[in-house]
């Protein structure tokens, strides 16, 4: 059995509880198929056909997600600035905790977005948002290093 077919069979085996009457759509990043669909008969899947599609978001959905990430980036950067300003005060530890959580959430959302994109879309998003995400990581690291040096 060819590797792509093994992957499809594995996916089907993991979808034991999925029931549908017409089509089941499964998204697969790493492989593309020359044929638009395959027919399967599986134990608990009541679909007649399995349609395999490559990952690609619509331009509208991608723009919405990028705008949301830009907002999260701005919020995280602002929280990092607040933490930096409040260094040495009673508010610092809470501000740092909030900033770290915001950075973590933003970076996770960024990675989730990248996983949903085609190669070209991924390239576009990385060129637009990649440096901002690296900036967040660097700012967070800088604050954490300052805290470590003072303790």
Residues listed for the chain: 151
pLDDT at 56: 76
The pLDDT tens digits for 104-121 are 999 999 999 999 898 899
DSSP string, 131-148: HHHHHHHHHHHHHHHHHH
CA atoms within a 13 Å half-sphere pointing along the CA-CB vector of 127: 6
Where do the domains of the chain lie? 3-53, 59-149
Kindly state the DSSP code that residue 151 receives in the 8-state scheme: -
pLDDT at 138: 95
95 close to 79: Cβ distance less than 8 angstroms? yes
Residues of the chain with pLDDT under 70: 1-55, 151
pLDDT at 98: 96
pLDDT at 150: 78
3-state secondary structure of 40: coil
Taking the C-alpha atoms of residue 47 and residue 58, their distance in angstroms, rounded to an integer, is: 26
3-state secondary structure of 150: coil
pLDDT at 72: 97
pTM, entire model:
0.63
Taking the C-alpha atoms of residue 77 and residue 69, their distance in angstroms, rounded to an integer, is: 12
């Amino acid at each position: 059995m060819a590797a792509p077919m093994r992957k499809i069979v594995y996916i089907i085996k993991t979808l034991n509880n999925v029931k549908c009457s017409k089509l089941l759509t499964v998204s697969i990043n790493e492989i593309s198929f020359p044929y638009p669909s395959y027919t399967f008969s599986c134990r608990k899947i009541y679909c007649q056909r399995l349609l395999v599609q490559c990952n690609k978001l619509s331009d509208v959905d991608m723009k919405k997600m990028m705008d949301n990430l830009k907002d999260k980036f701005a919020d995280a950067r602002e929280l990092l600035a607040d933490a930096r300003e409040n260094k040495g005060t009673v508010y610092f530890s809470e501000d740092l905790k909030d900033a770290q959580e915001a950075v973590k959430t933003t970076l996770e959302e960024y990675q989730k977005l990248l996983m949903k994109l085609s190669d070209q879309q991924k390239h576009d998003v990385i060129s637009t948002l990649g440096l901002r995400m690296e900036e967040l990581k660097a700012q967070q690291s800088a604050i954490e290093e300052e805290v470590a040096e003072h303790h």
